[in-house]
């Protein structure tokens, strides 16, 4: 894997989330990391595909998120799939808790990135699962948009 310079931004996204869920509200949260996790994130070694979030004791947690062990780490390396705490303020947590009481609403991680200050941030969203016909409709709209773009490109 190529090394990233300081000017390149690290962004790891959960592409399936936008296809599988209808997104309602989006929140940006900090991540509570340990040891070599931030170094591994800066190398781009993370995956959100199997991750999900939940609320427990008025705190938001993410589990299933994979951050690879740091390649230059020693015996002090971190555990790749540990449960991590998300840092949100009380208003946001109470809003999330009340929304999760609705049937079919879940908390989905969308994107993991490092902001301008060098802090790891994660975008999470309240989502409602899409039905099969909704997914087909999205694919049809995407295909139609692609065809329109191709047609416009020919006339330019």
For the stretch 10-65, pLDDT in tens is 788 888 888 888 888 899 999 998 888 888 888 888 888 888 899 999 999 999 88
- Predicted pLDDT at 136: 86
Question: Residue 152 burial (CB < 10 Å; 0-12/13-18/19+)?
Answer: exposed
Domains of the chain, with CATH numbers?
Answer: 11-130 (2.40.280.10)
CA distance 70 to 33: 13
Entry pTM: 0.74
pLDDT of 3: 45
pLDDT digits (tens, 9 = 90+) for 87-115: 999 999 999 999 988 888 899 999 999 88
pLDDT number for residue 6: 54
Q: Kindly report the CA angle at 108 between 92 and 80, in degrees rounded to 5?
A: 105
Name which of 41, 28, 50, 48 is nearest 124 in CA terms.
28
């Amino acid at each position: 894997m190529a090394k990233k310079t300081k000017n390149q931004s690290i962004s790891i996204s959960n592409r399936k989330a936008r296809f599988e869920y209808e997104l309602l509200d989006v929140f940006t949260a900090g991540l509570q990391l340990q040891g070599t996790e931030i170094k591994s994130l800066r190398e781009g070694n993370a995956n959100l595909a199997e991750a999900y979030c939940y609320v427990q004791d008025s705190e938001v947690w993410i589990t299933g998120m994979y951050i690879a062990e740091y390649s230059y780490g020693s015996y002090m390396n971190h555990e790749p799939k540990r449960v991590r705490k998300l840092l949100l303020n009380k208003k946001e947590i109470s809003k999330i808790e009340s929304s999760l009481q609705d049937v079919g609403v879940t908390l989905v991680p969308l994107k993991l990135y490092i902001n301008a200050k060098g802090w790891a941030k994660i975008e999470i969203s309240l989502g409602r699962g899409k039905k099969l016909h909704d997914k087909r409709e999205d694919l049809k709209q995407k295909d139609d948009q692609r065809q329109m773009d191709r047609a416009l490109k020919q006339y330019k």
